[in-house]
Amino acid sequence: MDQQPSSQQLAAESPAETPQPPAHPPTDSYSPAPQSRGGRRALAICGVVIVVVASSLGAGAFGAWLAQQKSSPLTNQKDGNSVVSNGEVDVSQVVNRVSPSVVSITTQTTGSSRYGRRQVQSAGTGIIISANGYVMTNKHVVGKAQRLQITKSDGTQYSHVKLVGADPLNDVAFLKIEGAKDLVPAQLGDSGTTRVGQQVIAIGNSLGRYQNTVTSGVISGKGRPVQAASDNNKVESLIDLLQTDAAINPGNSGGPLLNVAGQVIGINTAVVSEAQSVGFAIPINATKGLVRSVLETGKVQKGYVGVYFTDITPDIRVAQRLPVSNGALISRDRASSDSDEDDETTSGSRRSHAAVEPGSPADKAGLREGDIITKVNDKKVGEQGGFGSLISEFRPGETVSLTVLRQGKEQKVSLTLSEYKQSADAAQ
């Protein structure tokens, strides 16, 4: 697992205003991808992470691209069929395959300024995940939009678009084009098998003006954490992101990061505004449980474990004198959690909480503070994804096998996920 850099502050980029400072001064300045027009500050947060959440699809199998692209994106193929000529990837062929599955999203929101109320328009990107009109994007692309419009790569426009729901803890949202049929869904790959240095391709609505802009690069790092300052200066985080040097510009948010087989391995979500070619994408495996719930039920249903945890880094291993270099340490002093509750109360005092939420699936399974989770089913935590991403491959009601290290002894724990219940202030 790559050593994680120090946390850095995310801030939104705006053409007419300087973003409000975050609660803690940034070391570097990051920008989420959507482009906002009209002088209003774009939504500054790229997502929320306090959970040990679950919602994604299992790593399973992935079928052949051509056989599955018109039925379901959840196919089973580990490496995909690369388009290679003379030892080089033919990016144009990959793009031709995938472009019909990439859409531009335009949102309209009523905003306020010193001159009164006005309409603010923003733009982002989305990924078609079903033939009947379901689209996945970033939550910050949608924001609190009152009107949504989707445009396909061939220029076809859809105005009857509704928000199905969003993951309150990660920067993911789902839309539905009403009455749509015969769309071409993208094929979802396996982000757990990505390697630093492998070639990737990004497609997006760059700057909200240049639809289906294509850039390419490599995976620069894995397991990266970033932080964002919301409109009220509350600092929230995303963890376990893919880092890439493929150019990701404002407007690219919600678009696909692809492998050379044309499979989606990430959702482009943020860029470093004061650096050269440093962008971030949400690993696609961390969305697959949500995708399955949307495709099967028409609702966003998220799995819930009920522990506070910290993904182990080399520094944490040394500081805590842990016996392993990879895994998730269940601890009340954590970097990540499975609850949407803030660590601080409204009075500013530190909220006390148990490492394992009473009555939660984790509690019922017998997990304890100090346990180190090293595997989710057969996937190694830290090598094939952080604990949050791995557990997010499953839906509520599904049972997973956890390998747990307790007082130097390894044991298996069976845990059935419940449905995550978001609080009113977490719903956006």
Residues 202-226: tens digit of each pLDDT: 999 888 888 889 999 999 999 888 8
Secondary structure (3-state) at 279:
strand
User: In a 10 Å sphere around its CB, with 0-12 CB exposed, 13-18 middle and 19+ buried, how is residue 159 labelled?
Assistant: exposed
Question: Which one has a higher pLDDT value, 356 or 73?
Answer: 356
| Average pLDDT of the segment spanning 151-174 | 92
Query: What does pLDDT average to over the chain?
Result: 76
> What pLDDT is recorded for position 88?
65
| Average pLDDT of the segment spanning 86-103 | 86
> What pLDDT is recorded for position 62?
20
Q: Which of 302, 235, 187 is nearest to 24 (CA)?
A: 235
Whole-number Cα distances in Å, 187 to 61, 139, 167, 201, 311: 12, 21, 21, 14, 29
Active site residues: 140, 171, 253
Q: Above 80 in pLDDT, residue 98?
A: yes
Q: Above 80 in pLDDT, residue 74?
A: no
DSSP for 74-96, written as a single string: ----SS----EETTEE-HHHHHH
> What pLDDT is recorded for position 144?
85
Q: Which CATH superfamily is domain 303-419 in?
A: PDZ domain (2.30.42.10)
Which of 21-25, 141-145, 185-189, 269-273 bottoms out in mean pLDDT, i.e. has the lowest? 21-25
Instruction: Give the whole-angstrom CA distance, residue 400 versus residue 160.
Output: 39
Task: Give the percent of the chain with pLDDT over 90.
Answer: 52
Q: Above 80 in pLDDT, residue 183?
A: yes
Whole-number Cα distances in Å, 423 to 167, 199, 307, 342, 381: 12, 40, 17, 11, 28
Q: Above 60 in pLDDT, residue 57?
A: no
What's the pLDDT band for 365 if we cut at 50, 70, 90? very high
Task: Give the percent of the chain with pLDDT over 70.
Answer: 71
DSSP 344: B
Which of 148-157, 199-208, 394-403, 417-426 bottoms out in mean pLDDT, i.e. has the lowest? 417-426
Most confident by average pLDDT, 41-45, 74-78, 83-87, 145-149: 145-149
> What pLDDT is recorded for position 425?
35
Beta strands at 9-10 and 29-32: parallel, antiparallel or unpaired: parallel
For the chain, domain boundaries = 303-419
Q: Above 80 in pLDDT, residue 60?
A: no
Q: Above 70 in pLDDT, residue 234?
A: no
| Average pLDDT of the segment spanning 388-417 | 94
> What pLDDT is recorded for position 121?
84
What's the pLDDT band for 422 if we cut at 50, 70, 90? low
| Average pLDDT of the segment spanning 101-107 | 95
